[in-house]
Amino acid sequence: MSRTQTFRHAFVDHAPDRLEADVLYISLPYKTMIHLCPCGCGHEVVTPLSPTGWALIFDGETVSLYPSVGNWSFACQSHYWIDQGRVRWSWKWSEERIARARASRSLRVVDDEDEATQPRRGNGSSSDGHSWEA
């Protein structure tokens, strides 16, 4: 499998039996998203939507996900943002930083430290003024 650079989105009630590599499946009834890791390793990545988990922005055409996705339990340990359907790769975190994020019980606490250096729009708002919060 090759790296995915963009995601199409699909609003679904249930995840399909077989995931496509470039699709972010969004289940609003289950407040969950699922996709294949964009690094190409083939692992399924599940991101729950919640005030302490991930937030989703749908601008009518594309989706963005906040905070970043860090697949620390996978061998690839890929780390990326999904911004307007595009994969924006980020740097690998140290074991210490991963442990700190897990201990915080809120992904946003540690991820917000990266705010100034991430390829995102300034204050966590989309270009049309919608907040990153769900």
10-46: per-residue pLDDT in tens?
999 999 999 999 999 999 999 999 999 999 999 999 9
At 80 the pLDDT is 94
Mean pLDDT of the chain: 80
Chain centroid to Cα 74, Å, comes to: 15
Identify whether the C-beta of residue 70 lies closer than 8 Å to the C-beta of residue 98.
Answer: yes
Q: How far apart are CA 77 and CA 71, in angstroms?
A: 5
Q: How far apart are CA 22 and CA 112, in angstroms?
A: 27
50-68: per-residue pLDDT in tens?
988 889 999 999 999 999 9
pTM for the model: 0.74
Q: Is 50 left (phi over 0), alpha (psi -120 to 50) or beta?
A: beta
Residue 19 identity (one-letter amino acid): L
Calculated CA dihedral for residues 39, 40, 44, 45, nearest 10 degrees: 10
- pLDDT greater than 60 at residue 5: yes
